[in-house]
Chains A and B, each alone.
Chain A
Amino acid sequence: MTDSSVGSFVRGLILDFVPFLTVVLLILMTAIPTTLPREAHIGGLWPMIGVAYWSLIRPSSMSIMTVFVLGLLTDIISFVPFGLHAFVFILVQHTIDNQRRFFLGQGFWVLWVGYALLALVAYTILFGLSYLFMQGSASYVSGLTGAALSWACMPLVHLILNQLNHVIDLFDEPIA
């Protein structure tokens, strides 16, 4: 393997897998035991911040198939029927894909409000599906705490992912 092919391989790896791995890390974080009240647990809404961010900033690294796989992994980790988060993540990715022109170039506040709406709709769909498939075992209002918490945490996750994106940008330059 020549130097340029090694460089190309590493570059491809970073461009394609770092966004994927950050969402995987967010998925694993949903399972970590904390002392938060159980109703405040965000579940799949943590990784959804990552899915939404990368779908907007690096759509090539967050294709619909990738999002499907990430959704299934979230379902496994979150103890819910498989396909529940995958369904919601695909809708989130599709919505952002359609609204990219609007969102790109907007200030952070617009993104934050956009995410609030997205989180609320995503949570409502999650709740509706869980109501259908899990005999309505969850309470809509108590789960809203989790949705609100994910919205409150979004700036921090956004900031970290933004910094990471700047690093990835360094590798996105064509190799001489």
Chain B
Amino acid sequence: MRKIDIALGVVGTAFSLAGLVYVVPNWIVSLGYIGIGMSPSFFPNFTLTLTLGLSVLLVVSSLAGRGKSEHVRIFNQGERVRFILSLALILGSLLWLYFLGFIITGVLCTAAAMVLLGARRPVSIALISLLAPLILWSVFSLLLNMTLPQGLLFS
């Protein structure tokens, strides 16, 4: 975990420095009250300074840690491919939801997720991916009268 901790510390340091130097001065609106504790920037600066201190301490303590630095592998080849497919599914589901609405997204998403998780029987994939969104839609939209997306193409 040493390498991961060092990387986390570096990311935390960069993130908090970017926040202190650029984000807080540019993206916080203040009414101009003066005094400690009054400004909306006070707590963001407090949090970012604390994060900076902890991140630097994490890097230092990890570098000073005893023992050999281990080889770290976050993904193996298969995991990387499946992670990319998961990201594609996220993006796909957002686009489908926006353009095609809940039911079609539900069918496509369930089927894709089942295949990703190793389901191979077409009948069960078809059956579950059709039934699950239809049941959910019936419960939320018909029974509870909640609004689910209709999709840009159908609205």
- On whether the two chains bind one another, the answer is no
A-to-B contact residues, CB < 8 Å: none
B-to-A contact residues, CB < 8 Å: none
